[in-house]
Structure 1
Amino acid sequence: MQPPRIETIPEKKLVGKHLEMTLADNKTSELWQSFMPYRNTIKHRTSSDLISMQVYDAQAGFTGFDPHTKFTKWAVAEVSSFDHLPEGMEQYILSGGMYAVFIHKGTPADFPKTFRFIFGTWLPQSPYELDNREHFEVLGDKYKNNDPTSEEEVWVPVKNK
């Protein structure tokens, strides 16, 4: 796997839906099934990209994470304005900041390998540490759900050690 690019971004306006879940009780499919039929009703989109975002409890943090730790997952699109929010959708402001951006290639079943590289290999050897902000994946033009040729960007919040 390739090392990431490091990018600092401003805050972003997002519109979509969310569910609380754990890895042991993963409701990602349910979330996206409720979002996808209405994604085109979102006004002021900045691109056709979709974003899968995880928000972890500031107290629990990401260290010591286990399959039963609750977090909130969002299915969202970036917008330039919160005007005309579609019914059933909510707004969210993503914190800006520094991110390590990795490319995940493959299916969701291949993601544990990417996860191990990021958190088990790259992060401990890097000049960065995990920051307590949103984690997200950008599902762009190369994203093909459950296809082995699929690609997505994995954005991990970091700060200097």
Structure 2
Amino acid sequence: MTPRIETITDKKLVGKRITMSYANYRIGELWGSFMPRRREITNNLTNDLISLVVYSPIHFVDFKLTNEFERWATVEVENFNNVPDTMETFILSGGLYAVFNYKGMSSGASAFFQYIYSEWVPNSDFTLDNRAHFEVLGEKYKNNDPSSEEEIWIPIKAK
């Protein structure tokens, strides 16, 4: 489970967001409200979906299942000229990311994330950076399918 390390530039995203915690995980509600309307976004740069999380700076320092965060369901766009009603814009800050490939059902993802945050990050030459974390759900992504594949992007900076 060795990630590739990538530097990206800022990305413009359009989508929907809700506040949740891992104790009150409302991901189905978020994607259920976004997916029927995603075709209203007309200036997509790709067909990929981006599932994005904005954590507070102390989220992982004092981790509790009840810590709240923002979860976004988005797509990357060329510009913000045509944002559908009830959707919002987000600028994903560029920078250094560790990119992990995940294959499997979403039910196994929590163990994968636990490995990243409790094993890989502490034993790497990096620390977490205070920028958005995100997953790219591309053409190989199949919700709740054992053959599903996605990329997990973790913001990092040198120790």
TM range (shorter): over 0.9
Alignment of 1:70 with 2:59, yes or no, is no
Unaligned segments of structure 2, at least 5 residues: none
Q: TM-score, normalised by structure 2?
A: 0.97
Cα distance in 2 for partners of 1:35, 1:10 equals 25
**Can you give the 5+ residue segments of structure 1 that lack an aligned partner in the other structure?**
none
2:126 matches 1:125: no
Deviation per residue, 1:36-73 (Å, 9 max, x gap): 00101102100000000000123x34322211001000
Note the 1:108-119 alignment, pairs <5 A: 108-119=106-117
Following TM superposition, by how much is the alpha carbon of 1:133 offset from its aligned partner in structure 2, in angstroms?
Answer: 0.6
2:42 equivalent in structure 1: 43
Contact 2:52–2:135 (CA under 8 A) maintained in structure 1: yes
Is residue 61–residue 132 contact of structure 1 (8 Å, CA) maintained in 2? no
- Residue in structure 2 matched with residue 52 of structure 1 by the alignment: 51
Per-residue CA deviations over 1:81-101 (Å, capped at 9, x if unaligned) read 100111111111011110000
Query: Could you tell me how far apart the structure 2 residues matched to 1:112 and 1:84 are?
Result: 35
**Alignment match of 2:150 (pick from 149, 152, 159):** 152
Aligned to 1:106: 104
Calculate percent identity across the aligned residue pairs. 51
Aligned length: 159
Moved beyond 3 Å, runs of 4+: none
CA root-mean-square deviation: 0.9
User: Whole-Å Cα distance in 2 between the matches of residues 49 and 149 of structure 1?
Assistant: 17
- Distance across 2 between alignment mates of 1:41 and 1:33: 15
Partner residue, 1:27: 26
SS at match of 1:19: strand
Q: TM-score, normalised by structure 1?
A: 0.96
SS of equivalent residue, structure 2 residue 146: coil
